[in-house]
Amino acid sequence: MKIKIKYHKDIEKIKPIAIGDFIDLRSAETVSIKKGELKIISLGISMELPKGYYAELVPRSSTAKSFGVILANSIGIIDESYCGDNDIWTFPALAIRDTTIHKNDRICQFRIVKKMPEIEFEEVEHLGNDNRGGLGSTGIN
């Protein structure tokens, strides 16, 4: 499968990795962020995803520890229609401590996922299944 990519900044090129399902993305700029501040960090790329797919954007497992930021909206979804020349991917970073992220630091990762099939809702009075017992019903340990 081929994905068209446009680089907007002079950053290291994206490389698929041999281990894992996600591909790392880099900050396209150096930014300093104060604790509690939100900063939209450019990833310096635009992509044309294959028809029927979207991208899940998440922090790398070491992003909070290494850079002191978390992804402000927990998960990023980039759908296939976000594919114009100036539809630049970004990382909305919320700082948990004062920090500086440098250009080319690997701060997040993505994978592409098949879109949900078209669905239709059927309203019913009863689902006909046993109840699980609510949140946390499988136990504490």
Catalytically active residues are: 79
CB 68 within 8 Å of CB 95 = yes
Strand ranges for 89-139 from DSSP E: 90-95, 99-101, 106-114
